[in-house]
Amino acid sequence: MDASPDGGTDSLADAAYGLIRNRVLDGDLEVGAPVSVLALATDLKMSRSPVRYAVERLLSERLLRRVSGTITVAAPDRYELLDSLAVRTQLEALAARLAAPRVDEQTLAELTGIHDRFRQAVQDRDQDAARRADADFHSAIQELAGNECLAESLERVRTQVILAAYSTAWITSRGPALLEHERVLRALQDQDGQSAEIAMIRHLNNLTTRITSEWRAQDTAEEATGRRRAAPRASGAR
């Protein structure tokens, strides 16, 4: 894309990218929903060029997918989610370790404020607010780590986890996640990089365990439903 002398074209493309990406990650554009460049451009009151650029960028990041000529919000399968979680765990652990010595009064206040929002959302059973606060907590630690290469790698893998979370009962993870965030925050407050790294690994390993446990429960329920539906047919065949 050719940029205008004042960088306006690039700025519009970046703005479109941010707006569309946030709509996906906030759940406003649901998993599996079709994505139209024309409709988005009209809604965002932009020309199609920056929106098309943003959509292509989101396709390259696997936040959107093109199937049979149609662009939709990506729906990561279970194997993709587990792969993303494994990578995310190691990257976020590194981010926590790098962030710990960089914590000062201002950054600690910001992290504490985000954590307080998360706690309030959990108490209010506000799933959307809790999800946003959870994402903000992890993003703040990522930014505090001060490593651009790590941030870029982590940003891409986190989007896959966030997308997949919409297809799980994430609400069941909020209580345990609140306690796990508190342990991470405490280690960061102490500027203890090793403890922050361990706390983050435990948090994300526990998240993986909760998700896989839910999958097993879903599969068991579906199998039981299938057996109940098949029983009358089998009985009638005699």
The closest of 107, 29, 132 to 72, measured between CA atoms, is 29
Q: Which residue has the higher pLDDT, 76 or 33?
A: 33
pLDDT at 6: 36
What pTM does this model have?
Answer: 0.76
Shared-domain flag, residues 82 and 66: no
Residues 20 and 61 placed together within one structural domain of the fold: yes
Last residue of a domain, one of 73, 94, 124: 73
Range name among 42-51, 110-119, 174-183 with the lowest pLDDT average: 174-183
Is the pLDDT at 70 greater than 70, yes or no? yes
Which pLDDT score is estimated for 80? 80
* Domain encompassing residue 117: 78-222
Per-residue pLDDT averaged across 67-92, rounded?
87
Whether residues 21 and 100 share a domain: the answer is no
Encoded tokens for 117: 């929002």
Considering the domain architecture, whether residues 194 and 115 belong to the same structural domain is answered as yes
Q: 142 falls in which pLDDT band (50, 70, 90)?
A: very high
**Are 99 and 185 in the same domain?**
yes
Report pLDDT for 2: 36
Span 116-125, average pLDDT: 92
Instruction: Report the pLDDT averaged over residues 146-173.
Output: 73
- Residue 42: pLDDT band (50, 70, 90) is very high
Whether residues 122 and 209 share a domain: the answer is yes
Both structure tokens of 40:
């988005």
Exposure of 194 in the CB half-sphere (CA atoms within 13 A): 0
pLDDT of residue 218: 81
Determine, yes or no, domain membership for 154: yes
CA–CA–CA angle 206, 91, 10 (5° rounding):
125
- 109: pLDDT confidence band, cut at 50, 70 and 90? very high
Q: Is 48 left (phi over 0), alpha (psi -120 to 50) or beta?
A: alpha
**123 and 207 belong to one structural domain:** yes
